[in-house]
Amino acid sequence: MRGTKIVVLTGAGISAESGVKTFRDNDGLWENHRIEDVATPEAWQADPQLVWKFYQARRRQMNEVEPNPAHEALAKLESELNEFTLVTQNVDDLHERGGSSNVIHMHGRLQTLRCETSGQIEHRMDDSDLKDEYAFCNCCAEPSRMRPDIVWFGEIPMQMEEIYAAVESSDVFIVVGSSGHVYPAAGMVHVAKSSGAHTILVNYEMPLNGLDFDEVHLGKAGEILPDLVESWLTE
């Protein structure tokens, strides 16, 4: 793989072995909620307390979890290659804590909050920011309520131009830990394939878009990705 352009897209499955709940596995995050009730702008308008508490619980959990060998394997791959882009659907910071840099969080981040008036983003992970009471901005004369810095259903994912440019010019496109449910992320393997990339999947089970991949490795990412990365670096 050396000398080739690699793009990796990760989903909740890569953080599963760190103890971060996925969305659609049986004990998943959405188990107690319908997606529409917590991850849409309409939900935030209709019941901000419910949505805020859902995200505050997930933000607090960030202080209790650690990166796992899958995050570390991708950081090693990045360190050995010249042209490497990591895009994640995840809103946790485990890729960064596992050693990756320049992570593109296309669905936002739990670590930051967004001022509802100015749209400005602040890193807010102190204990005082993690309570069930709303957080208020530091940018407005009259502090405004802040919202989770998350891309909800119906909102446009972040940095799409940069992501598509990388996917369309990739030689190898690798997806780790995603069920292929959510677009436009789930359609990226098709974009890569039609641009001539070799497409690889690392996932616990076959996802909805599994047939789009040239190469499929089923298993736990924390267990199989480190050896795969070693093999990719020696081929």
Alpha helices in 104-198 (DSSP H): 160-168, 188-194
Q: According to CB under 6 A, which one of 93, 170, 220, 229 is a site residue for ligand BV8?
A: 220
Q: With binding defined as CB under 6 A, does residue 67 bind ligand BV8?
A: no
Total of chain residues touching ligand BV8, rule CB under 6 A: 37
With beta carbons less than 8 A apart as the criterion, state whether 217 and 201 touch.
yes
107 is catalytic: yes
- Catalytic residue, chosen from 107, 123, 181, 190, is 107
Rule CB under 6 A: choose which of 134, 136, 164, 204 binds ligand BV8: 204
Angle in degrees, CA 48, 49, 55, rounded to 5? 90
Which residue's CB is nearer to ligand BV8, number 46 or number 160? 160
Q: Where are the beta strands (DSSP E) in the chain?
A: 6-10, 84-88, 103-105, 108-115, 121-123, 146-150, 172-176, 198-203, 215-218
23 touches ligand BV8 by CB under 6 A:
yes
- For 53, the 3-state DSSP assignment is helix
d(CA 24, CA 182): 11
Cα separation, 110 vs 92, in Å, equals 6
Q: Which of 185, 189, 192, 229 binds ligand BV8 (CB under 6 A)?
A: 185
181 near ligand BV8, judged by CB under 6 A: yes
Q: What are phi and psi of 51, to 5 degrees?
A: -65, -45
Per CB under 6 A, the segment of 71-79, 116-124, 161-169, 202-210 that binds ligand BV8 is: 202-210
**Lookup: tokens for 121:** 């983003």
Residue with CB nearest ligand BV8?
13
Residues in the chain: 235
Least distance between ligand BV8 and beta carbon 77 (Å): 16
- In the bound state with ligand BV8, the residue whose beta carbon lies nearer, of 8 and 182, is 182
Of residues 83 and 223, the one with the C-beta less far from ligand BV8 = 223
Q: By CB under 6 A, is residue 162 in contact with ligand BV8? A: no
Spatial distance between the Cα atoms of 208 and 190, rounded to a whole number of angstroms: 13
Instruction: List contacts with ligand BV8 (CB under 6 A).
Output: 11-13, 16-17, 22-25, 28, 39, 89, 91, 107, 150-157, 160, 177-179, 181-185, 203-205, 207, 220-221
**Residues designated catalytic:** 107
